[in-house]
Amino acid sequence: MNLNNNIDLSSSGIKLGIIGTNFISDSLCDAAKKTGLPVTAVFSRAMDTGRAFAEKHGIENVYCDFEKFCSSDKINAAYIASPNFCHFQQSIALLDCGKHVLCEKPAASSLAKFESMVKKAGKNKLILIEAMRPAYDPAIETIKSFIPLCGKLRFAHIEYSQYSSRYDKFKSGILMRAFDQSFSNAAVMDIGVYPIHICAALFGKPKNILSHSVKLDGGFEGQGNVILDYGDMTAEIAYSKITEAHTPSFIRGEDAEITFGHALSKIDSIEFFPRNGNPKTSEFIPAENNMIFELSAFADFINGRKSPEKYINDTKITLEIMDEIRRQNNIIFPEDNEF
């Protein structure tokens, strides 16, 4: 199955503004270009940075005043790619100005904040969803199609461990934003959110949660392991910003096993291993940029072609699990006292 299907969002009616000028915003602009979705404005704290980003991606309008960006008639929706601690307040401000919101993961630092955001969106008859790439990637549907062939599910190991490009600087004594807890950063927020969300999407809410975090100098969470109890099945989650995993994730049943990976933000291979029979490699071809699928879903939600309820519920389960991981491991952010 070729996942690079033609997605045309040029007539979706969306005029998208972007908050943030980092690499993930570059990827979003690339996905928007591939789908024909107009990116009409960018917000940056520095005009020079905003103008450089706008010139790079052919964006007409640049804002350094956030209130003017929110109220601008140049946009009717916004993609938020700012630091984690900004997500809640920026989302609420945009919703108050009548803009739909696609918020980069994690959509909020806690379930309570996300529920407040969803409530605001519902009250204003707007769409707010989390930009969780695997949630919308057809690779997940391919995995789901194999699950009934596995028989009774017994065990899953879902892992995303990626050595951060900024970790060496951290070890040399340079404090980077990626390792600064004051920005509501932690390994569970930055990278653990992916395997946790996949478990939520595939298996739902667990009965019990047991977790352990590895803390670095200064108390930053560098990696973590989580056991999710689903009764007659156990899901093990591993995530890390300080090691690299080369083995795939897997879901194991009494009759077969599914393997997939490697980077869970963009699943690039899926294999099926029956207990009795020959292994099978899925024939799907990963999209060059799988952010096209979250943009397509966002447009479908806005235009009423599809309901966001399942995706919002999966985000809620994910954040509830993350709340418990933070509670068990004393991962506290400055913004926790603001809500």
pLDDT at 19 over 80: yes
Q: What is the mean pLDDT of residues 100-107?
A: 98
Q: What's the pLDDT band for 1 if we cut at 50, 70, 90?
A: very low
pLDDT digits (tens, 9 = 90+) for 262-314: 899 999 999 999 999 899 988 888 999 999 999 999 999 999 999 999 999 99
CATH 3.40.50.720, the chain: domain bounds: 16-132
Q: How confident is the model at residue 262, as a pLDDT?
A: 81
Q: What is the mean pLDDT of residues 241-248?
A: 96
Comparing CA positions, the residue from 91, 331, 74 lying closest to residue 214 is: 331
Average pLDDT across the chain, whole number: 96
Q: What's the pLDDT band for 178 if we cut at 50, 70, 90?
A: very high
Q: What is the mean pLDDT of residues 69-92?
A: 98
pLDDT at 106 over 60: yes
Of the options 3.20.20.70, 3.40.50.850, 3.30.360.10, 3.40.640.10, the CATH number for the domain spanning 135-292+319-338: 3.30.360.10
How far apart are the C-alpha atoms of 126 and 246, rounded to whole Å? 41
CATH 3.30.360.10, the chain: domain bounds: 135-292+319-338
Q: How confident is the model at residue 337, as a pLDDT?
A: 81
Strands 234-240 and 221-229: antiparallel
pLDDT digits (tens, 9 = 90+) for 54-77: 999 999 999 999 999 999 999 999
Contacts 24+ apart (CB under 8 A), 210-218: 210/328, 211/324, 211/325, 211/328, 211/329, 212/329, 213/186, 213/187, 213/188, 213/325, 213/329, 213/331, 214/240, 214/242, 215/329, 216/170, 216/179, 216/242, 218/175, 218/179, 218/181
**CATH superfamily for domain 16-132:** NAD(P)-binding Rossmann-like Domain (3.40.50.720)
Q: How confident is the model at residue 284, as a pLDDT?
A: 82
